[in-house]
Amino acid sequence: MADALKIGIAGLGTVGASLVRIINQRSHELAVTCGRPVRVVAVSARDRTKDRGIDLTGIEWFAGPVDMAQKADIDVFVELMGGAEGAANASVRAALARGLHVVTANKALLAYHGVEFAAMAEEKGALLNFEAAVAGGIPVIKALRESLTGNTVSRVYGIMNGTCNYILTRMEKEGLSFAECLKEAQRLGYAEADPAFDIEGNDTAHKLAILTTLAFGNKIAADDIYIEGITNISIDDIRAAADLGYRIKLLGVAQRTESGIEQRVHPTMVPVQSVIAQVDGVTNAVAIESDILGELLMVGPGAGGNATASAVLGDIADIAKSQPGAQRVPVLGHPAATLQPYRKAQIQSHEGGYFIRLTVEDRIGVFASVAAHMAENHISLESIVQHSKEYLSHPAQQTIILVTHATMEDSVRKAVASIKTEEYLIGEPQVIRIERPKEDN
């Protein structure tokens, strides 16, 4: 049998500790499938005294991950710390500069430095693998990077944040508060170290930026994504969506349009009968629409120690099986030097259906006025309903819910802005975009 693949792991939290545990438990099977043993020989984390429930006997401890990347006797540097800058950035940079293979689950790092690191890896003939960075255990990177070669992708979209999907599902099914659900997601190890990245949509945006590059061959453009998180979604929205035959999911969507590539992350109403609407809890789903294959929908665990460690392990196994000096698949699907400048389509030119929920004073003429604002902005309505008071606590208020046919975002913004000048409006209007899977179009 060939020499062992020696790995160093920086970060022994939810993912890192699961990875060490699995490699310890599955060492025999791994050696057989990879054709060589896979051995953890070095680790680094902040607190050496912390009980992580894993056996680190015989493994060299490094106080600093950069030190480990520069000096440890390893073939693969596995980065599981998180963050676009700081220790993660410096240690991955050091590992690639040394020509080590790198595996990371860090989407923030790749969203901001992926092109530069891909170029470094390609120059050194090293592998930079990151399956766990997007949609947890779902092999979506491999699908886009390798399996769909030759296809022209038109749209990639999906549920890419387990924490948000977990929160929305439990709010809807169990009537729990947002705060309770988030706390539980943190306890289960799904959330980022700073959960604002999850609930404000940035984590989904980081993942989407990576998928967009793999799908469309552009430079990663994480700062060009329109982002809305789920903090503004109330149980009233969830109930109103259900009444209309929709469920609310936080989606990341990237699509080719005539004016460029549209990248957006926002709470989205999806038809209740669609497959994506049925994806509950921490589960993620990613749909890829392409010309040769058609629609590919991948569903699976999106976060958590084991799901993520499974993807990291797959990346390590690919390295164990790779031949030194062999032709490499480009890190981002296309050689880093050939990635095209990103051409951004503005969110104002997005065309789709919209759900608009207004709280208004309960008096004559309001309904007609709202309809008139829509007509003035050339918005065609699928439905407009003056709702019973079941969503409201105040007897002098009414809810008006509108669902539009496909229309331009710019028109919706103008209509909502003009409604906001009306005295009958109470509070902020709620606007949620509707996304239809290909099966429905």
Establish if 290 lies at the interface with ligand HSE (CB under 6 A): no
Q: What is the DSSP letter of 275?
A: T
Which neighbouring-strand residues pair with 264?
226, 253
Establish if 192 lies at the interface with ligand HSE (CB under 6 A): yes
Stretch that binds ligand HSE, among 137-145, 156-164, 238-246, 325-333 (CB under 6 A): 156-164
Q: Do residues 80 and 9 make contact, with C-beta atoms less than 8 angstroms apart? A: yes
Q: Is 41 exposed, middle or buried (0-12, 13-18, 19+ CB in 10 A)?
A: middle
**3-class DSSP assignment, residue 127:** coil
Among 11, 136, 252, 437, interactor with ligand HSE by CB under 6 A: 136
Q: Which does residue 163 bind out of ligand NAP, ligand HSE, none, counting CB within 5 to 8 angstroms by kind? A: ligand HSE
Give yes or no: 207 in active site. Answer: yes
Among 137, 302, 333, 352, interactor with ligand HSE by CB under 6 A: 302
Which is nearer to ligand HSE, 300 or 352 (by Cβ)?
300
Q: Which does residue 11 bind out of ligand HSE, ligand NAP, none, counting CB within 5 to 8 angstroms by kind? A: ligand NAP
Q: Which two tokens stand for residue 174?
A: 């169990």
Closest CA to 254 of 262, 246, 243: 262
Establish if 191 lies at the interface with ligand HSE (CB under 6 A): yes
Stretch that binds ligand NAP, among 14-22, 261-269, 325-333, 338-346 (CB under 6 A): 14-22
Establish if 45 lies at the interface with ligand NAP (CB under 6 A): yes
Establish if 47 lies at the interface with ligand NAP (CB under 6 A): yes
> Under 8 Å CB-to-CB from 427, ≥6 apart: which residues?
359
Q: Which of 50, 207, 414, 420 is catalytic?
A: 207
- Alpha carbon of residue 224 to chain centroid: 15
Helix axes 107-124, 86-97, angle to 10 degrees: 10
Provide DSSP, 318-372.
HHHHSPTTPPPPPTTSS-GGGPBPP-BPPGGG-EEEEEEEEEEES-TTHHHHHHH
Which neighbouring-strand residues pair with 19?
none
Among 203, 237, 289, 435, interactor with ligand HSE by CB under 6 A: 203
Stretch that binds ligand HSE, among 29-37, 137-145, 158-166, 229-237 (CB under 6 A): 158-166
Residue 164 CB, nearest approach to ligand HSE (Å): 7
Residue with tokens 């520069």: 70
Q: What residue ranges bind ligand HSE (CB under 6 A)?
A: 136, 161-163, 190-192, 198, 203, 302-303
Provide the annotated active-site residues: 207
